[in-house]
Amino acid sequence: MGKTMAEKIISEHVGKEVKAGEIVVAGVDVAFVQDGTGPLMVEQFHKMGFDSVKPKIAILFIDHAAPSPRKELSNAHNVLRGFAQQKNIKLVEIGEGISHQIVAEKYAKPGDLIVGADSHTCTAGALGAFATGMGSTDLALAFGTGKVWLKVPETIRVEVTGNLPDGVCAKDLIIKIIGDIGADGATYKALEFVGDTIENLSMESRLTLSNMAVEAGAKAGLIPTDEKTRAFLREHNREEDYREIAPDHDAIYERIIKIDASSMEPVVSKPHTVDNVAPVSAVEGTRIDQVVIGTCTNGRMEDLRIAANILKKHGKASGVRLIIVPASQKILLDAIHEGLMDIFVQCGATILPPGCGPCVGVHGGVPGDGEKVLSTQNRNFKGRMGNPKAEIYLCSPATAAASAAKGVITDPRKLL
């Protein structure tokens, strides 16, 4: 019987053939935590009496509160630095980038089983890895035993065909999918994104899709590998990590969703849930106080280029605060070399260091009471950015830049 990508990858890591519904213990290739979940992982690792760190690749990221805005967080960071030193494992320091971007650039291999104490660990699914978010104690178990327990998920196949119209991005596509199936539409399940639209997407856009799989409740968001996956790995000097991984043609799916990309238009998620989706045209003209472009969802070169093209032509409206947060140090450098940062700074944007910044409500752009924020991040829950009295709209980098140019929510197709 045919297998989905999730069934194939988990079978390889259990050492026997498994199928959806089975509860299994599987080996882990990459395990990581970040500064919000890492200190509790360290505490639980010690509490359970573990000594050595088992996975081949185990990483501690300081990306959520980086650089630290408070002494309590500085001390939490030092817990991670101490653990890294004691166990001789990799620590990614402030400013180096967001875990999910660094994992995509340097560590995730097609066919890997990856666990991270961060819900957006599913991002690496774009590289054909089974990557899923868990809590600190699960990660302590992964660090201490090299294994995790899983229920092999059923898979929803999302078939997307047709060309995305100009001004419509991968971000619009994933927001639409979440709006269609709901914030719990894929709970306990994996998503598989296939079809000619997906094949035509860049790796950067594919990372945006997989990043938000969890916003439909999914355990993972997988994309079959192809020449674009290989080229991405080559670009990051690790082409040897490439392998082909795809579902069998007779794999069994929980259901199949078909989407015609050519009929799509730019969309937003309105406050306060990601599945509260509307076309940009329905909220056009809404006054905004702050625009954020970047994060692990849309902080890659492709996103920054889209935004810079619009802002170069149209500038930034006065009265709107514009924050740019690249996903990694490599992206920051590339954007500097390409002149994108010149464009952003000259139009009055603030550049934050690579990291989670304003998206997690810790620092770097907390909105005021009653303010409206438009952001390319992945979540708009009440209080998400640090103030429950603010409203957050989610959108593509094109819509964010067009709206920053006009000071109100704006359909980017008008400014192309």
Partner 1 sequence: MLKGRVWKFGDNISTDHIAPGRYFHLRSNLPELAKHVLEDAREDFPELVQKGDIIVAGKNFGLGSSREHAPRIIKLAGISCVVAKSFARIFFRNSINVGLPLVELQETDEIDEGDILEIDLRRGTLFNITKGRGYSFEPLPSFVLEILELGGIDEYMKKYGDYRF
* Residues engaged in binding partner 1 (CB under 8 A): 23, 25, 36-37, 39-40, 44, 47-49, 64-65, 70, 72-73, 75-76, 79, 116-119, 121, 133-138, 140-141, 145, 147, 149, 183-184, 187-188, 214, 217, 219, 273, 360-362, 366, 379, 381-388
Element (H, E) at 76: helix 71-87
CB of 369 to partner 1, least distance (A): 13
Q: Are 162 and 37 in contact (CB under 8 A)?
A: no
Our CB check for partner 1 shows the closer of 120 and 206 to be 120
**Distance in angstroms (rounded) separating the CA atoms of residues 220 and 209:** 11
What number of residues does the chain have? Answer: 416
Element at 301 (helix H, strand E): helix 301-314
Question: Least distance (Å) from partner 1 to the CB of residue 142?
Answer: 11
Question: Quick one: which of 228, 31, 54 has its CA closest to 114?
Answer: 31
Grouping H, G, I as helix, E, B as strand and the rest as coil, residue 383 is coil
Q: Closer CB to partner 1, residue 95 or residue 135?
A: 135
DSSP 124-173: GGGGT-EEEE--HHHHHHHHHHSEEEEEPPPEEEEEEESPPPTT--HHHH
Q: Which is nearer to partner 1, 117 or 322 (CB)?
A: 117
Nearer to partner 1, 149 or 239 (CB): 149
CB of 87 to partner 1, least distance (A): 18
| Residue 76 or 401 having the CB closest to partner 1 | 76
Min dist. Cβ of residue 135 to partner 1 (A): 3
What's the closest the beta carbon of residue 116 comes to partner 1, in angstroms? Answer: 8
Nearer to partner 1 by Cβ, of 47 and 56: the residue is 47
From the CB of 62, what's the least distance to partner 1, in Å? Answer: 13
Q: Please state the φ and ψ torsions of residue 274, each to the nearest 5 degrees.
A: -70, -30
User: Which residue, among 31, 23, 219, has the nearest Cα to 140 in the 3D structure?
Assistant: 31
Peptide bond preceding 67: is omega within 30 degrees of 0, i.e. cis?
Answer: yes
For strands 372-375 and 255-260, give the pairing.
Answer: unpaired
Minimum CB distance to partner 1 smaller for 384 or for 406:
384
CB contact set of 414 (below 8 Å; sequence gap of 6+): 402
By beta-carbon proximity to partner 1, the closer residue of 73 and 175 is: 73
Give whichever of 392 and 398 is closer to partner 1, judged by the CB atom: 392
Alpha-carbon 258 to chain mean position: 23
Amino acid at position 167, single letter: G
Closest CA to 69 of 330, 407, 386, 380: 386
- At its nearest, how many Å lie between partner 1 and the CB of residue 408? 26
| Residue 142 to residue 50: CA distance in whole angstroms | 11
Task: Considering the complex, state which of residue 190 and residue 306 has its C-beta at the smaller distance from partner 1.
Answer: 190
CA neighbours within 13 Å on the CB side: how many for 236?
A: 20
Write the DSSP symbol of residue 366: P
Q: How far is the CB of 176 from partner 1 (least distance, A)?
A: 19
Q: Write down the least CB distance from residue 132 to partner 1, Å.
A: 9
Instruction: Look up residue 243 and give its DSSP letter.
Output: -
**Strand, helix or coil for residue 253:** coil
Q: Identify which of 29, 24, 27, 55 has the alpha carbon closest to the alpha carbon of residue 41.
A: 55
Please report how close the Cβ of residue 187 comes to partner 1 at its closest, in angstroms: 6
